[in-house]
C-alpha cells in the first residue's frame, strides 16, 4: 500500500491505492449473448466506411511503391524479449489466439523470430494481415441500454504487436491517452501556477465525436508527411489502417467478419500513436 503512494503523479498507482483502501470493486454490465445484436454492432462500428457495407471476402491490399522508403526505426531482439517477458498472463489473447502467457514463457525462443518479422514489416512498410485483425468486445456504457451507441467498442488485437516499450520514447511526453491521467497532471500544473499572485488559468476541454472511427488513412498520411514524419513510417501506418478485418464478440457469439479501411481499432497502442498525430 505504501508503495502505491510514493509517486503521487502516477495516477494508476494512486487509484489502485484508493480502491484498496475503500475495497471498491466496479461491476461492469454485461452485453447479452445475441448473434443478431453482434452483427448489428459490427455494422454500426463500420458505419463510417466509405464503401457499401458488405461481408468480408479478401482484405484489400494497400498500394505500395516499387521500392519502399527506408525506415529509420529498427526493433532490437533484446527489446522484444524483454517485452515478451513482461507480458501480463491475465490479459486476453487477440484474434490469433496467441496468449500473453505463451509469449512470456517462450520469450527466448520467440524473440528472434518476431524481431525478424517486425523489422521486415518496417523494411517493406507492410503490416502482416494477421496483425490487422481485431475482435471487438462491446462494453455497455450504462446499465440501461437504449441503442447501439450505448456500447463502447474495445478492440482486442494481436498481443504480439504491442511494442509500446520500444516506441514509447518516440512519443510526446505530454501525451496522456491511456498512459497517465491528463486531468490530474493538468490540475497539478494549474495549481502550481496559481500559487503566484495575480495569476489565472483558462482550461479548454475538447471531445471529438467518433474521433478514432473517422480517421481517413489518405488524409492522415498527407498530414503526417507535412509534419516531417518519415515516408516509411507514413506508409507503414497507412498499411496498418487499410484492409483491416474485424468481428464483434458477445459472450460465446461472434459476428461475421467485415473488412474496413476507415478509422482505427479503439484501445490499441497503435491507435493511440496515430490519434496523437491526427
Stretch among 40-44, 45-49, 167-171 having the lowest mean pLDDT:
167-171
Q: Kindly report the number of other CB atoms within 10 A of residue 91's CB atom.
A: 13
Q: Give the domain ranges of the chain.
A: 1-27, 31-277
Instruction: State residue 211's pLDDT score.
Output: 80
Q: Kindly report the number of other CB atoms within 10 A of residue 127's CB atom.
A: 22
| pLDDT above 90 as % of the chain | 30
User: What is the tens place of the pLDDT at every residue in 78-133?
Assistant: 989 998 998 888 888 888 888 889 999 999 999 999 999 999 998 999 999 988 99
23 dihedral zone (left: phi>0; alpha: psi -120 to 50; beta) = left
Using 50, 70 and 90 to split pLDDT, how confident is the model at 8? Answer: low
Instruction: State residue 32's pLDDT score.
Output: 66
Instruction: State residue 26's pLDDT score.
Output: 64
CA 275 to each of CA 48, 71, 75, 175: distance values in angstroms, whole numbers, following the listed order? 17, 21, 22, 10
Q: What number is the average pLDDT over the span 59-77?
A: 62
Q: In angstroms, rounded to a whole number, what is the distance separating the alpha carbons of residues 260 and 50?
A: 9
Q: In angstroms, rounded to a whole number, what is the distance separating the alpha carbons of residues 162 and 180?
A: 18
User: What is the tens place of the pLDDT at every residue in 234-258?
Assistant: 899 899 999 999 999 998 899 999 9
Residue 248's DSSP bridge partners are 136
User: What is the tens place of the pLDDT at every residue in 173-221?
Assistant: 666 655 556 777 788 889 999 999 999 998 887 777 778 888 899 999 8
* Cβ atoms 134, 156 nearer than 8 A: yes
Amino acid at each position: 500500500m505504501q508503495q502505491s503512494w510514493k509517486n503521487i503523479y502516477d495516477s494508476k498507482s494512486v487509484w489502485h491505492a484508493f480502491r484498496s483502501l475503500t475495497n471498491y470493486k466496479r461491476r461492469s454490465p454485461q452485453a447479452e449473448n445475441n448473434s443478431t445484436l453482434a452483427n448489428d454492432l459490427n455494422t454500426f462500428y463500420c458505419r463510417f466506411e466509405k464503401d457499401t457495407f458488405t461481408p468480408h471476402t479478401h482484405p484489400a491490399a494497400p498500394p505500395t511503391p516499387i521500392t519502399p522508403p527506408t525506415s529509420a526505426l529498427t526493433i532490437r531482439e533484446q527489446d522484444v524479449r524483454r517485452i515478451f517477458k513482461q507480458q501480463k498472463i491475465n490479459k486476453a489473447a487477440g484474434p490469433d489466439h496467441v496468449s500473453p502467457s505463451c509469449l512470456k514463457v517462450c520469450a527466448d525462443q520467440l524473440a528472434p523470430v518476431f524481431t525478424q518479422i517486425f523489422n521486415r514489416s518496417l523494411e517493406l512498410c507492410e503490416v502482416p494481415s494477421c496483425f490487422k485483425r481485431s475482435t471487438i468486445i462491446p462494453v455497455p456504457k450504462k446499465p440501461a441500454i437504449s441503442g447501439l451507441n450505448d456500447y463502447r467498442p474495445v478492440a482486442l488485437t494481436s498481443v504480439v504487436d504491442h511494442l509500446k516499450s520500444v516506441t514509447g520514447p518516440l512519443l510526446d511526453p505530454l501525451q496522456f491517452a491511456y498512459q497517465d491521467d491528463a486531468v490530474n497532471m493538468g490540475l497539478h500544473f494549474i495549481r502550481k501556477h496559481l500559487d503566484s499572485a495575480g495569476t489565472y488559468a483558462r482550461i479548454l476541454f475538447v471531445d471529438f465525436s467518433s474521433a478514432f472511427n473517422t480517421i481517413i488513412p489518405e488524409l492522415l498520411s498527407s498530414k503526417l508527411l507535412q509534419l516531417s514524419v518519415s515516408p516509411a513510417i507514413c506508409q507503414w501506418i497507412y498499411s496498418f489502417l487499410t484492409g483491416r478485418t474485424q468481428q464483434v464478440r458477445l459472450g460465446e457469439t461472434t459476428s461475421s467478419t467485415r473488412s474496413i479501411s476507415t478509422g482505427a481499432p479503439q484501445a490499441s497502442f497503435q491507435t493511440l500513436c496515430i490519434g496523437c498525430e491526427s
